[in-house]
Amino acid sequence: ASPARGPPISGLSRISGASATWSVPSFSRRSVLIWRISLTTVLSFSKRWLLAVYFCQQAIEKYLKAYIIKVGQQPPPLHNLRLLADIAGLSQQMDQTKLQHLVQLTPFYIKARYPDYKQRLSQLLNRETVDDFILKTEEFIQWMQKLIS
């Protein structure tokens, strides 16, 4: 029988073997540029604000999980960004703006997947709020890139 394998984590390369460990991804300016182009496309052509903020949440989740891997731990199957930052040991290094951003983004993973909440969450978003989420996410990613590299 093959060893038990954890769930795949988008953007992370897997090293197969008995321990089923994950490798730290090679994040680059190119990957951030692709992420930014994807968001710009979503916003410019479809104005799907909820999807754009969901992308922000997903990007930060992947970076936090990559850092958890870098420090030698297995990333838990969680989507709560503040809790992932605590597990990674990064919360004490973050200012209030970063911590608040994590808290504000978390519901956009959990609740965006449930139809009842989509309408309510969508009503909270407009071009200005989404632009703010994107800007803060880009700043967070740049900070995380320094920690991971």
pLDDT-derived band at 111 (thresholds 50, 70, 90) equals: low
What is the radius of gyration, based on Cα positions, of the chain?
Answer: 16
Rounded distance between C-alpha atoms, residue 41 and residue 21, angstroms: 34
Whole-number pLDDT of residue 28: 57
- How does pLDDT run across 8-58, given as a tens digit for each residue? 333 333 333 333 444 444 555 666 667 776 776 677 567 788 888 888 999
The mean pLDDT of 4-9, rounded to a whole number, is 36
Whole-number pLDDT of residue 99: 97
Rounded distance between C-alpha atoms, residue 105 and residue 82, angstroms: 9
Contact 110, 124 (CB under 8 A): no
Rounded distance between C-alpha atoms, residue 120 and residue 122, angstroms: 5
pLDDT at 123 over 50: yes
Q: Which structure tokens are listed for 126?
A: 């407009």
Contact 56, 107 (CB under 8 A): no
pLDDT-derived band at 4 (thresholds 50, 70, 90) equals: very low
Whole-number pLDDT of residue 10: 39
- Between residues 137 and 21, the one the model is more confident about: 137
Rounded distance between C-alpha atoms, residue 87 and residue 108, angstroms: 20
pTM given for the model: 0.74
- How does pLDDT run across 42-98, given as a tens digit for each residue? 775 677 888 888 889 999 999 999 999 999 999 999 999 999 999 999 999 999 999
Whole-number pLDDT of residue 5: 35
How many alpha carbons lie under 13 Å from residue 89 in its C-beta half-sphere?
Answer: 8
